[in-house]
Structure 1
Amino acid sequence: MKKIIYVLTLFFVLLVSFNASAQDILKSRDLSTLKVDDLTDGDLANISAQLKSNNTTIEQVEAMALSKGMSQVEYDKLKMRLNGYSGKSDNTNDKPEIQVNKVGFGRQQEKIVNEKIKDTDNNLIFGSDLFDNPTLNFEPDLKLATPMNYILGPGDELQISVYGIQEYNSSIPVSVEGKVSIQYVGQIFVSGMTVEAATQKIKAAIAKVYSTVRSGQSQVSVSLGKIRTIKVTIVGGKQPGNYSISSLATVYNALHLAGGPGKNGSYRNIELIRNNKIFRNIDIYRFLVKGDQSDNVGLRDNDVIRIPAYSQRVTVQGEVKRPGIFEMKKGETFSDLLNFASGFNELAYTASINVVQKTGKEFKVQDINESDFATYSPKSGDVFTVTKILNRFENRIKIEGAVFRPDYYSFTEGMKISDLITRAEGLKEDAYSKRARIIRLKSDLTTEIVNIDLSAALSGDLNADIELRREDIVTIYSILDFREEYKVTIDGEVKKPGVYEYYENLTLNDLIIQVGGLTGSASKRVEIARMVKSDSINDGDPKRIELVQLEITTDNNEQIKNFLLKPFDVINIRRVAVYEKPKMVIVSGAVTYPGKYVLASKVEKVYDIVMRAGGLTSIANLEGMKIKRPIKQEEIDRLESIDLNLAKNDSLKEKLASIKFSTIPINWEKIVKDKDHYSNVTLFPGDEIEVALYNEGVKVTGNVLLTSEIPYRSGKGFRYYIDAVGGVNNKGWKRKAYIIYPNGKADVTKSFLFFRTYPTVEPDSQIVVPEKPVAKKMSTGEWVSIGSVITSLALLIVTAFK
């Protein structure tokens, strides 16, 4: 009773010393609405400071908090936040926190990390990859139920709960003396006991204090909370040393942390030493081959895992499923070794295995027959080689050609040609029955052909129905193989001209229907060229072919006179003399009726079309008429085929390929005066006549200071417009400037001696100033060379005149 009064008094003192925020929360008589998540770090700091100043803990005031209505969940949150907050420190000299693995139900374990070292020297040793894979760590699963045979020790933490009428919940660590201290119950010694035994002991102790536990109205639950860390020593591993691991860890977990056995370490005779005695011999092959984890026993504090050197190792290479280096125990045979290697693969030769052995002085070779696999004992250093089976068949025979199922078949002694044909489900209708062929391999490895009278063999003639041999290839000929492939050709005004198969009794009607019928441009004239056959040469008759002229009805694919065709005939259906679809040109710009116009005749000229378009409007530029004529693809191909001797980086070819139209200038004033003027050109389909609108501006572009359009002024020359845009820039090449007139003509600046003539400027013209070519500057060495040459010439001249 005194202890309870002391706790209540102490808790009241703590409440008085809290800051305003904490007082508002904890002074309340009803803490059922308290949300620990809303507490600030300042509130937690004050609570933690008061608990420390009074030498008490949050666990000791649990009863008071619960009596004021605080839920167990909120109390656990407060306890967790206070414990987490007390772990923080502003002192930079404090050691870093130990990382722990946290699981959903509260069990914790220190994080054990060991960097893996990839084994390159022993990667062929069977089992080494088990310890190189960082995803295989054999860590204990903290989510498993509490193992009842787990041995408790200092560092473990027990979660003890009383539930029912009376409630109690606390996480109590096992002290260094091996005891747990339970409030109102006292200290209970549990070190060295299993969880099951400790649970019974704790229940008995609590039952003495809690009457409802004794009566069965309340229950007691004991489980592991935080798990302790133990020390084990590994000798002979790839990374030997002392390791701190979980008390739930097993042998394989420790071996994985140490990287497995070292270079010469044994995989089959690993010793687990406990209390200076060999507790268990561990054979990893039992796990690798059978999945047997009986050797994966739990570890105890101060256990030693000793990995001795191997006694026997052998090598298996070739056609096995898992080649590598294997460790053998005394009494094991080649059959056991083959089991370790997962057996032969599909291509292995299993009748005999070659083994290279080491004697005291040299090597020797031995063959192990299949009957000796279960008795041969491998010796250390043996190298077993499993070879491939031969690429040949012991009972294969083949039939091909005019049978229903040509394929390979199994051969049996005494098989005849009729038997094989029966297995191939008989001859096809087109089979040639007079002869069949067998290609046979002779004893001297050369081949021969055996001919068979097939009809006699199938009719029961024993002499013709010869016996077959292994690897014979039987060929049944087809009469279609001896026929020439006949074709006919049709061309001209049909929808699908081409070469077609010839059939007996094929007529002209049949072929016209097959090619989709006649086109609308087909004439009534048909010409058929027919091959001439003769047994003799007639020099007086120069004809190569026979020509047949026919007349057909063009409006009907079914002809009254149905002409019978012959192989290799060439049929040509001619086009009507006049059959041209309307072709159009385009008139655009300053005409009365711009648009598309059909060429009424083959010699339609510019003047005709323009007048059909209503003539020019009042705003038309008479100097700005031109024709844009599409460039045909064959013209582009012809230009690309010409060797222009251009540099690799010259863009001229790209510019040529990008040109889609050619421009033809038109002088309308001359055409109006003289219809026979050369500007009044004949139009082609696709031409476009452009009539420009009158524009009084002159465009100046290229390498000038300002690209602009200057109003046209009569009498002003070329240089006036260049000066009007600020002149040329530092890259401009003024003496090569040129002008493009509205009708597409161009003119360039001309030079003669010291005189320069500039082209005339017209309204709507465009002046272009090109860029100067990049001049290659002479290097210092070139100047020195030129100076040397001039000096030498001067010396020669001086010497000559002396």
Structure 2
Amino acid sequence: MKKLIYVFTLFSIFLLSSNAIAQDILKSKDLSTVKVDYLSDDQLSKISAQLKSNNTTIEQVEQALLSKGMSQTEYNKLKARLNDVKPVGNDAKSNNPQMNTQDYGKVQDKFSNEKVKDSANALIFGSELFDNPNLNFESDLKLATPVNYVLGPGDELQISIYGVQEFNASSPVSSEGRISIQYVGQITVAGMSIEAATQKIKAAISKVYSTVRSGQSQVSVVLNQIRTIKITIVGGKQPGNYSISSLATVYNALHLAGGPGKNGSYRNIELIRNNKVYKNVDIYRFLVKGDQSDNVGLKENDVIRIPAYSNRVTLEGEVKRPGIFEMKKGENFSDLLNFASGFNEFAYTASVSVVQKTAKEFKVHDINESEYNSYLPQSGDVFRITKILNRFENRIKIEGAVFRPDYYSFTQGMRVSDLITRAEGLKEDAYGKRARIVRLKTDLTTEIVNVDLDSALSGDLNADLELKREDIVTIYSILDFREEYKVTIDGEVKNPGEYEFLENLTLNDLIVQVGGLTGSASKRVEIARMIKSDFIDDSDPKRVELVQFEITADNNEQAKNFVLKPFDVVNIRRIAVYEKPQMVVIKGAVAYPGKYVLANKKETVYNVVMRAGGLTSVANIEGMKIKRPIKQDEIDKIKSVDLNLANNDTLNEKVVQKLEEELKYATIPVDWEKIMKDKRHYSNVTLFPGDEIEVAVYNEGVKVTGNVLLTSEIPYRSGKGFKYYINSVGGVDNKGWKKKAYIIYPNGKADVTKSFLFFRTYPKVYPDSQIVVPEKPETHKMSTGEWVTIGSLLTSLSLVILTAFK
């Protein structure tokens, strides 16, 4: 007996140890006694869940398990069994594409129906509720299960015991309406609410688990998977039988069926249960008030019947939500306005026009505002809400020399003085002799009424005229009658231009206003003044009066402060000699290359080269040239030349573009050897600011480029001619035009091949020259037919000549 007690104790300790290890394997300190073969699938599932909750894998905790005493063999067994274990509970259903699993323990089938926008019925109020794929009225599985939810076959309950004792299992409701719990047995739950079934399950479990009975363990019953029920929809856009969640409601089902059909009612939808009308659904209650009291839950074999509408009317025009509306018996026009969210801000609300249908024809009826609560719309009525008139019933306007020109409300008996008072009075520049009223007459034409403003404001009622609706009162300003006077200043001032003339404006005032004199201003000032006269004097040829005097050029405040008059033109002359130093650049084979200031107006190439220390020993005297920037005014002249080209000819544009973007400089060849012999030689040109003198370094090579077999540089050989260098690169290719070849010398000068009769003269070649062979122009070769035509013409011409000489 003692041995049995000892064995039983060891076995219990082993089970408890295994269970503890299974529950918290990462926190155990000693794993040397763990036998993986004795672990159940449920224990392995708990270990897998523990690893998953810690965001780790079995491979990541290998070293930790081995360090706590687990052998490598047991670890390998644990790893193999964990990889083979199948997920239970919710994880087992996550791979089912037909399930919609949430994080809250509930699972239900995914129901969907593709929605297509119904353009034909788009104007029917409420249709957008059922053809919008973003609306589905699906049950929110995140919410708690309703306590009145009735269980049935297909539901699945998650039953958990926690506390001293633990148990966890999923129990589906069988077709007989029962669930099966291990060690407890079968319990009938079909037809019971979830709340009642929970109490029944707890009572059954407490008979088996003593800790539940004593309160040491607790029982949790959760609806894990929701069953599918079948319903029927009649009269919808997509009628038929539907399999739907048992948590679904009427609106969910209507959305699946696409809502009411073309002639379906939105106001009298019937929910039929057990062959009786259980609920009349009015969708307008939800659309207008947000009332979802009609959105009741569905049960197995429910029928949703959508009958045809009985009364539809159309509301057009200035309402917030125009469309086609369904009306119930007893509803009036005010109810219709409420469905359309009322008039918009531009609506004419005093009356509404309605087009009615009789048995034979149409008729028009006007509904006054007082009848809105009594008029009952008839089927087929078309209500048109028009805009208010673009006019004002009590508007009046004042503009001009008052402090607050604007529109004001008109009251009967208002006079001119009253309106001026409301506009905060007259400005100081107001013209008091006259004001103007533009008045709208009864036939909508306008007239002008003049007002003696000074008399009207002094209390004379005859002058203080009574105003009418839509009058426009204009108060003139004396500034409106003044001519806008200007003066002009030009020449050596910082901001020349035209400026406003003010009374008592002096020359000093104007000079300071334009920023003062420039450093190049001379002492000479000329002022041109207009001549005014009441008669023409032919003996006096003068057009203007000229006033000339001297000023102190370095002082903006002149001793003689000349008073200006309107339209005076002031001209500050430039001093005779005022020229800033300007530079040229010399680079290349000179002793001191760099920038040099032009010392005199006739600075020549020779002078600058000598100032730069002369040519060095490596300078090529045949390779000196001047690069002169192409000025913008020269390009503008080319642009202005009319070459009389066709409309689509872009020759002029191409020339301008090449000058602006590619060339930028004009090249002037310099013959230094001739300059050294004669300083007056034409090559010794006078330099301009911005010129660049380039002195090339002596180069013994001759470049050959263009349409030749090999672009290369051939060493210069004295006495060798043009053809020698072309032959040295293999001659011209099949596109080369040898007779038009040309040479560019180091100083920028060029020469071409010349032809006379059968003789061809080639240019001389010097070191550092460049020979260019251009490409032949494309020629049109005559076809065989063209040659035959020419031969026929020649034959005919010969016969004519022979006939003429016979």
Task: Give the TM-score category using the shorter length.
Answer: 0.7 to 0.9
Q: In the superposition, relative to structure 1, how do residues 672 and 751 fare at CA in structure 2: closer, same or farther (>3 Å)?
A: same
What's the secondary structure of 2:263's corresponding residue?
coil
What's the secondary structure of 2:407's corresponding residue?
strand
Deviation string, structure 1 residues 415-466 (Cα, Å, up to 9, x no partner) = 0000000000000011011110001111222211111010111111111111
Equivalent residues in 2 for 1:380-419, closer than 5 Å = 380-419=379-418
Q: Mean Cα displacement is larger for which, 27-36 or 213-222?
A: 27-36
Deviation string, structure 1 residues 27-80 (Cα, Å, up to 9, x no partner) = 36996998427999xxxxxxxxxxxxxxxxxxxxxxxxxxxxxxxxxx999976
Aligned to 2:659: 656
The letter of the residue matching 2:795 is A
Displacement of 1:744 after TM fit? Answer: 0.6
Displacement of 1:727 after TM fit? Answer: 3.0
Partner Cα separation in structure 2 for residue 197 and residue 744 of structure 1: 110
Q: In the superposition, relative to structure 1, how do residues 732 and 541 fare at CA in structure 2: closer, same or farther (>3 Å)?
A: same
Displacement of 1:515 after TM fit? Answer: 1.1
Partner Cα separation in structure 1 for residue 434 and residue 359 of structure 2: 68
Aligned to 1:20: none
Partner Cα separation in structure 2 for residue 310 and residue 438 of structure 1: 61
Displacement of 1:799 after TM fit? Answer: 6.8
Q: Mean Cα displacement is larger for which, 214-223 or 269-278?
A: 214-223
1:248 to 2:260 alignment: no
Partner Cα separation in structure 2 for residue 649 and residue 113 of structure 1: 66
For normalisation by structure 1, the TM-score amounts to 0.88
Aligned to 2:185: 186
Partner Cα separation in structure 1 for residue 82 and residue 97 of structure 2: 22
Aligned to 2:130: 131
Aligned to 2:28: none
Displacement of 1:649 after TM fit? Answer: 6.6
Aligned to 1:341: 340
Partner Cα separation in structure 2 for residue 693 and residue 731 of structure 1: 33
What's the secondary structure of 2:152's corresponding residue?
coil
Partner Cα separation in structure 1 for residue 51 and residue 559 of structure 2: 108
Q: Mean Cα displacement is larger for which, 698-707 or 318-327?
A: 698-707
Aligned to 2:605: 606
The letter of the residue matching 1:663 is T
What's the secondary structure of 2:278's corresponding residue?
strand
Equivalent residues in 2 for 1:518-557, closer than 5 Å = 518-557=517-556
Displacement of 1:575 after TM fit? Answer: 0.6
Displacement of 1:768 after TM fit? Answer: 1.9
Partner Cα separation in structure 1 for residue 318 and residue 612 of structure 2: 89
Partner Cα separation in structure 2 for residue 222 and residue 163 of structure 1: 12
- Unpaired segments of 5 or more residues in structure 1? 16-22, 41-74, 89-95
Q: 1:706 aligns with which of 706, 710, 720?
A: 710
The letter of the residue matching 2:563 is L
Q: In the superposition, relative to structure 1, how do residues 78 and 373 fare at CA in structure 2: closer, same or farther (>3 Å)?
A: farther
Q: Judge conservation of contact 2:113–2:256 (CA < 8 Å) in 1.
A: yes
What's the secondary structure of 1:669's corresponding residue?
helix
Partner Cα separation in structure 2 for residue 34 and residue 387 of structure 1: 73
Aligned to 2:498: 499
Q: Judge conservation of contact 1:397–1:472 (CA < 8 Å) in 2.
A: yes
Aligned to 1:443: 442
Displacement of 1:568 after TM fit? Answer: 0.9
For normalisation by structure 2, the TM-score amounts to 0.87
Q: In the superposition, relative to structure 1, how do residues 263 and 244 fare at CA in structure 2: closer, same or farther (>3 Å)?
A: same
What's the secondary structure of 1:225's corresponding residue?
strand
Partner Cα separation in structure 2 for residue 240 and residue 729 of structure 1: 85
What's the secondary structure of 1:361's corresponding residue?
coil
Deviation string, structure 1 residues 393-415 (Cα, Å, up to 9, x no partner) = 11000000000000000001000
Q: Judge conservation of contact 1:36–1:77 (CA < 8 Å) in 2.
A: no
Q: Judge conservation of contact 2:48–2:82 (CA < 8 Å) in 1.
A: no
Partner Cα separation in structure 1 for residue 91 and residue 321 of structure 2: 55
Deviation string, structure 1 residues 364-405 (Cα, Å, up to 9, x no partner) = 111111111111111111111111111111100000000000
Aligned to 2:723: 719
Partner Cα separation in structure 2 for residue 474 and residue 184 of structure 1: 102
Q: 1:81 aligns with which of 87, 93, 97?
A: 87
Q: Mean Cα displacement is larger for which, 322-331 or 98-107?
A: 98-107
Partner Cα separation in structure 1 for residue 323 and residue 83 of structure 2: 56
Q: In the superposition, relative to structure 1, how do residues 777 and 267 fare at CA in structure 2: closer, same or farther (>3 Å)?
A: farther
Q: In the superposition, relative to structure 1, how do residues 799 and 731 fare at CA in structure 2: closer, same or farther (>3 Å)?
A: closer
Equivalent residues in 2 for 1:166-177, closer than 5 Å = 166-177=165-176
Displacement of 1:735 after TM fit? Answer: 2.8
Q: In the superposition, relative to structure 1, how do residues 256 and 704 fare at CA in structure 2: closer, same or farther (>3 Å)?
A: farther
Displacement of 1:481 after TM fit? Answer: 0.4
Q: In the superposition, relative to structure 1, how do residues 775 and 269 fare at CA in structure 2: closer, same or farther (>3 Å)?
A: farther
Partner Cα separation in structure 1 for residue 82 and residue 324 of structure 2: 56
Aligned to 2:162: 163
Q: Mean Cα displacement is larger for which, 420-429 or 561-570?
A: 561-570
Aligned to 1:580: 579
Displacement of 1:648 after TM fit? Answer: 4.8
Equivalent residues in 2 for 1:227-266, closer than 5 Å = 227-266=226-265
Partner Cα separation in structure 1 for residue 237 and residue 506 of structure 2: 90
Equivalent residues in 2 for 1:94-113, closer than 5 Å = 97-113=96-112
Q: Mean Cα displacement is larger for which, 536-545 or 723-732?
A: 723-732
The letter of the residue matching 2:149 is Y
The letter of the residue matching 1:611 is M
Partner Cα separation in structure 1 for residue 86 and residue 153 of structure 2: 22
Partner Cα separation in structure 2 for residue 695 and residue 79 of structure 1: 89
Aligned to 1:27: 38
1:623 to 2:634 alignment: no
Q: 1:742 aligns with which of 719, 738, 746?
A: 746
Partner Cα separation in structure 2 for residue 566 and residue 430 of structure 1: 23
1:683 to 2:687 alignment: yes
What's the secondary structure of 1:81's corresponding residue?
coil
Q: In the superposition, relative to structure 1, how do residues 31 and 131 fare at CA in structure 2: closer, same or farther (>3 Å)?
A: closer
Q: Judge conservation of contact 2:740–2:773 (CA < 8 Å) in 1.
A: yes
Partner Cα separation in structure 2 for residue 634 and residue 286 of structure 1: 81
Deviation string, structure 1 residues 69-94 (Cα, Å, up to 9, x no partner) = xxxxxx99997626799899xxxxxx
The letter of the residue matching 2:459 is G
Displacement of 1:132 after TM fit? Answer: 1.7
Aligned residues with identical type, % of pairs: 74
What's the secondary structure of 2:200's corresponding residue?
helix
The letter of the residue matching 1:468 is L
Q: Mean Cα displacement is larger for which, 639-648 or 194-203?
A: 639-648
Equivalent residues in 2 for 1:303-452, closer than 5 Å = 303-452=302-451
The letter of the residue matching 1:767 is I
1:570 to 2:582 alignment: no
Q: In the superposition, relative to structure 1, how do residues 86 and 532 fare at CA in structure 2: closer, same or farther (>3 Å)?
A: closer
What's the secondary structure of 2:87's corresponding residue?
helix
Aligned to 2:792: 791
Partner Cα separation in structure 2 for residue 790 and residue 313 of structure 1: 92
Q: In the superposition, relative to structure 1, how do residues 177 and 729 fare at CA in structure 2: closer, same or farther (>3 Å)?
A: farther
What's the secondary structure of 2:510's corresponding residue?
helix
Q: Judge conservation of contact 2:526–2:572 (CA < 8 Å) in 1.
A: yes
What's the secondary structure of 1:480's corresponding residue?
helix
Partner Cα separation in structure 2 for residue 87 and residue 423 of structure 1: 80
Q: Judge conservation of contact 1:98–1:110 (CA < 8 Å) in 2.
A: no
Q: In the superposition, relative to structure 1, how do residues 667 and 707 fare at CA in structure 2: closer, same or farther (>3 Å)?
A: same
Deviation string, structure 1 residues 483-515 (Cα, Å, up to 9, x no partner) = 111111111111111111111111111111111
1:36 to 2:37 alignment: no
Q: In the superposition, relative to structure 1, how do residues 549 and 312 fare at CA in structure 2: closer, same or farther (>3 Å)?
A: same
Partner Cα separation in structure 2 for residue 277 and residue 271 of structure 1: 10
- Unpaired segments of 5 or more residues in structure 2? 1-7, 19-33, 53-80
Deviation string, structure 1 residues 692-719 (Cα, Å, up to 9, x no partner) = 1101111122233332222112222223
